Amino acid sequence: MAVETTTRAKLRWGLLDVIVVVFALVPVLWIASLSFKTSATLTDGKFWPREWTLDNYRTIFDTDQFVRALINSIGIALIATAIAVVLGTMAAYAISRLDFPGKKLLVGVSLLIAMFPQVSLVSPLFEIERQLGIFDTWPGLILPYITFALPLAIYTLSAFFKQIPWDLEKAAKMDGATQGQAFRRVIAPLAAPGVFTTAILVFIFCWNDFLFAITLTSTERSRTVPVALQFFTGESQFEDPTGAICAAAVVITVPIILFVLFFQRRIVSGLTSGAVKG
């Protein structure tokens, strides 16, 4: 009886999972399929392209516009991620380990930043950045990205730090480590999965952002890919750039996939098991 219900339950869940995955993946596959079609067959409504072509990819890499945007995107997202993760790690460690006056306020304010509607900040930021002369530059985007990614980083990381038993740090100190050595050799290796998870989340946030990127940039100097896609045009006014846009869309998902795959191996859950009885 019990076995039968579990196999049936498994089947039901399996089916549900398949539906969810298909639902999520079909649009992606559709875009990938469109990117391989010739402009003549673009609107034939077939899932599999009848004629395969790499023309669309050639087009986007031929234009300086897209390559430049790709470099901007990668550079800005990587720098913002690195800074946010380093600052977030230090802040989260302090929050989870120390009792200092104003701790609750700090956590509350960072939560407030995360909840603040970004759209209402766009105009003031535009003005401020123009005054400061960082409008349409890399720092002009990196700064707001760090601001909005930090609360996320602090929250994820402090959850990870709280899981690490405090006794380990005490043990390291008893074993002759300084505060710095205890952090570097005992705490940091254990917090690594948390750091990588946070890095992925922050990177995706920066990579996907459209709102800040379209308002705080005006030229190819700092325009990122999501915005650059909007400025795609065909070779002539009458040509539809759908194929090229689809190809670009496929290309910009690749770095994210690579980034996730690269760090995923380091996210080993349950790394702390065995430290303490439990």
Partner 1 sequence: MADIVLDKVSKRFPDGTTAVRDVDLEIADGEFVILVGPSGCGKSTTLNMIAGLEDISSGELRIGGERVNDKAPRERDIAMVFQSYALYPNMTVRENMAFPLRLAKLDKETINQKVDEAAKVLELTALLDRKPANLSGGQRQRVAMGRAIVRQPKAFLMDEPLSNLDAKLRVQMRTVVSRLQKQLGTTTVYVTHDQTEAMTLGDRVVIMRGGAVQQVGPPQELYDHPRNLFVAGFIGSPSMNFLHAAVADGRLRTALGDVPIGDRIRRQLDGADAPRELILGIRPEHFEDAELLDEETRRRGMEFDAPVEIVESMGSDKYVYFTVEGERATAAELEELAADAGAADFSGAGSNLVTRLSAESPVREGEQRRVWFNLEKIHLFDPASGRNLTLHEGRAAGALAD
Interacting residues toward partner 1 by CB under 8 A: 165, 167-168, 170-178, 181, 185-186, 189-190, 270-278
CB of 101 to partner 1, least distance (A): 11
Beta carbon of residue 89, minimum distance to partner 1 (angstroms, whole number): 17
Residue (83 or 186) nearer to partner 1, CB: 186
- Cβ proximity to partner 1, 33 vs 272, nearer residue: 272
Least distance CB 160 / partner 1 (angstroms)? 14
Shortest reach from residue 109's CB to partner 1, in Å? 24
Three-state SS letters, the chain = CHHHHHHHHHHHHHHHHHHHHHHHHHHHHHHHHHHCECCCCCCCCCCCCCCECCHHHHHHHHCHHHHHHHHHHHHHHHHHHHHHHHHHHHHHHHHHHCCCCCHHHHHHHHHHHHHCCCHHHHHHHHHHHHHHCCCCCHHHHHHHHHHHHHHHHHHHHHHHHHHCCHHHHHHHHHCCCCHHHHHHHHHHHHHHHHHHHHHHHHHHHHHHCCHHHHHCCCCCCCCCHHHHHHCCCCCCCCCCCHHHHHHHHHHHHHHHHHHHHHHHCCCCCCCCCCCCCC
Q: Pick between residue 151 and residue 193 the one whose CB is nearest to partner 1.
A: 193
Q: In whole angstroms, how close is the CB of 103 to partner 1 at the nearest point? A: 14
Nearer to partner 1, 195 or 216 (CB): 195
Judged by beta carbon, residue 23 or residue 277, the one nearer partner 1 is: 277
Shortest Å, Cβ 98 to partner 1: 13
Nearer to partner 1, 251 or 271 (CB): 271
- Give the integer Cα–Cα distance in Å for 137 and 223: 9
